Structure 1
Amino acid sequence: MIVDAHHHLWRDDQGYAWLDDRYLAPIRRTFSPADLRAELAANGVDRTILVEGGRCDVDEARILLGYLPDIPEVAGVVAWADPASPALAEILAGYRALPGGERLVGIREQIQGIGDPGYLDRDDVRCGLRTIGDAGLAFDLCIRADQLAAAARVARDLPDVRFVLDHLGKPAIRDGGFAPWAADLAALAENANVTAKLSGLVTEASWKTWTADDLRPYVEEALRLFGAERLMFGSDWPVCLLATPYAKWISVLTLILPADAREMIFGGTAERTYHLTRD
């Protein structure tokens, strides 16, 4: 059972403004259920987690959950919501009431784009994170490497909330930013309520020249800190296409990981963390 714990879908008419960056032209197009299913079938992926794509509005949840009838492989959806919203409880209830709402498994905010270094220390944000946890949902940490220390604090202070670190906190691989990232990742990993995704690493490396050896220290350090039981595979497709085909990321990660860690990382951790049910 292979679970891809992190991918996206979008249409080019749905208002994803971040795709207007000129460097993102190769992925500034529609990625359809048929496109995704072809990748899954070609790579033996059984189940997936569909994650909000940076549109940052509540209407996107309806769009994402609306894909479910066309993509039976999607076992769960991580939708966007602002943890600081006074209407958060009502927003979550509204998501759950949508067709497919029973497959809502998590919430994400684009914290990587928030300049406030104290964002995760704010009382209103922490109140919202408790609300998300009380609703039985995980919270995906979409953060930069310099925000890992704040994430470690909030995970320590909210032990009943399940946190999932996306893209290992986006280490500066192309610039060799290993040491500060590793120190802050270690502080986050001390919290048993945090799991992490081995995803998004190729786009933090040099898109055209990266090698498995460029990524190996980051994957191995994450495995040392979290163990296979708290790590999961994610493709970050179609964003990954900026630097690698889907199949190559799977093969490179398989090459780097020890054989006894692969089953958990490629499936078991995601099923447990996101409380996925088997039909």
Structure 2
Amino acid sequence: MIFDTHLHLIDRKRLSYPWLADVPDLNRDWSYADYEATARRIGITDVLHMEVDVAEADIEAETTFVAELMQRPCSLIRGAIAAARPESAGFAAWLERVDRRVVKGVRRVLHVVPDAVSQTALFRQNIAGLGAAGLPFDIVMLARQLPLARALVDACPDTVFVLDHCGVPDIAGGGFDTWAAQITELARRPNLYMKLSGVTAYTGGNWTLQTLRPWVDHILHQFGPDRIVWGSDSPVCTLHSNLGEWVASSHALLAALSEDDRNSLLHGNAQRIWKTAAQ
């Protein structure tokens, strides 16, 4: 079984995605039905929808969209990692009214705002509030921003964090050493988990299994299989691979783990972190 903790769905008739104009290869609809057809063939049994940086006015509409998908017969979707604005004074009120049957976690895209945003007192206060509410926060930052991620995690020790996409390493540029040092430091924070998700997108396109292995081996060594979850990052993973290739590569890269450790990484950890019931 595989729990995909990072699925993006795009419905341009219903929601607005301003950033898509700059990424023509992704600028189309990506439907649940198309994803589900492939996911069931390759062993994906459970899914969390990851917010897609919709226009701010559409944030709550995106959550409603996910809630409707959850109600489909035999739906794979177990909830949403919802968009929010922790830098806003209205965040606490949003957290009070949010539908916890749908919202299992929160993310704010942090590489599209000034670095200072995640370091403000209000942002940290609101992220600490997620910990009190029992909701994890996904961190998505570029590799150069990983010291900022470390500062945020340290400021909110009672909040569970998940670092998306292995910290967005510069695989194409060969930026291993600096990234690896930051990952080693981050792994010392017990409230931080790692997400093995869609790193083929950062390869520049000319990749093989051996291209990915040093990066994946490093997170396995530093975090261990009990602090890593898996995600597809579909459809972003399609920039330099496809969903089936990423699943097959993941299985190969994790083959040396015991069966129990693979099961934890690919499924069990996600159920525990996001408190989703077995289906």
| TM category, shorter | over 0.9
The 5 A counterparts of 1:38-53 are 38-53=37-52
Tell me the secondary structure at the aligned position of residue 173 of structure 1: coil
Secondary structure of 1:174's match? coil
Q: Tell me the amino acid that sits aligned with residue 209 of structure 2.
A: A
In structure 1, what is the equivalent of residue 9 of structure 2? 9
TM superposition shift of 1:176:
0.2
Indicate if the aligned counterparts of 1:155 and 1:194 stay in contact, CA closer than 8 A: yes
Distance in 2 separating the partners of 1:233 and 1:191: 19
1:161 aligns with 2:159: yes
Distance 1:275 1:66 in 2: 20
User: CA offsets, 1:247-269, max 9 Å, x none?
Assistant: 11111111111231321111111
C-alpha separation in 1, matches of 2:45 and 2:103: 18
The offset of 1:167, in angstroms, is 0.4
Post-superposition Cα deviations, 1:193-249, rounded to whole Å, max 9, x if no partner, equal: 111111121111112x11111111110000011000011111001111111111111
Post-superposition offset of 1:8: 0.7
Unaligned runs of 5+ in 2: none
Shift of residue 56, structure 1, vs aligned partner? 4.6
Aligned to 2:86: 83
The RMSD of aligned alpha carbons is 1.5
Secondary structure of the equivalent of 1:232? strand
Letter in 2 for 1:121: Q
CA contact (8 A) 2:106 2:138 kept: yes
Q: Which runs of 5+ in 1 are unaligned?
A: none
- 3-state secondary structure, aligned to 1:277: coil
Distance 1:187 1:150 in 2: 12
- Rounded Cα–Cα distance in structure 2 between residues aligned with 1:95 and 1:74: 18
- Three-state SS of the structure 2 residue aligned to 1:276 is coil
Question: What CA distance in whole angstroms lies between the structure 1 residues aligned with 2:198 and 2:249?
Answer: 13
CA distance in 2, matches of 1:157, 1:211: 38
Structure 2 Cα separation of the partners of residues 74 and 142 of structure 1? 21
1:181 is displaced (CA, Å) by 0.7
Query: SS at the partner of 1:141?
Result: strand
Pick which of 66-75 and 33-42 moved more: 66-75
Check whether the contact 1:62–1:95 (CA below 8 A) recurs between aligned residues.
no
Aligned mates of 1:277, 1:89 — CA distance in 2: 26
Contact 1:229/1:264 (8 A) holds in 2: yes
Distance 1:91 1:10 in 2: 23
1:198 to 196, 207, 221: 196
Code of the residue aligned with 1:122 in structure 2: it is T
AA in 2 matched with 1:86: A
1:210 alignment partner, one of 203, 207, 210: 207
Deviation at 1:34, TM superposition (A): 0.8
Aligned residues: 271
Q: Is the 8 A contact 2:271 2:278 kept in 1?
A: no
Tell me how far 1:121 sits from its aligned partner. 2.3
Q: Structure 2 matches for 1:92-103, cutoff 5 A? A: 92-96=95-99, 101-103=100-102
Match of 1:146 among 123, 144, 149: 144
Per the alignment, in what secondary structure is the counterpart of residue 176 of structure 1? Answer: coil
Q: Distance in 2 between matches of 1:73 and 1:18?
A: 27
Cα distance, 1:18 vs structure 2: 1.2
Letter in 1 for 2:54: R
Q: Tell me, yes or no, if the aligned pair for 2:143 and 2:168 is still in contact at 8 Å.
A: yes
Q: Which 4+ stretches in 1 moved above 4 angstroms? A: none
| Structure 1 residues 135 and 56: alpha-carbon distance in aligned structure 2, compared to 1, 3 A threshold | farther
Question: Are the counterparts in 2 of residues 61 and 95 from structure 1 also a CA contact under 8 Å?
Answer: no
Q: Please list the CA deviations of residues 165-213 of structure 1 after superposition, one character each: whole Å capped at 9, or x if unmatched.
A: 0001101000000111111111111111111111121111112x11111
Q: Which residue of 1 aligns with 2:273?
A: 273
Say whether 1:184 aligns with 2:158.
Answer: no
Match of 2:220 in 1: 223
The percentage of aligned residue pairs carrying the same residue is: 31
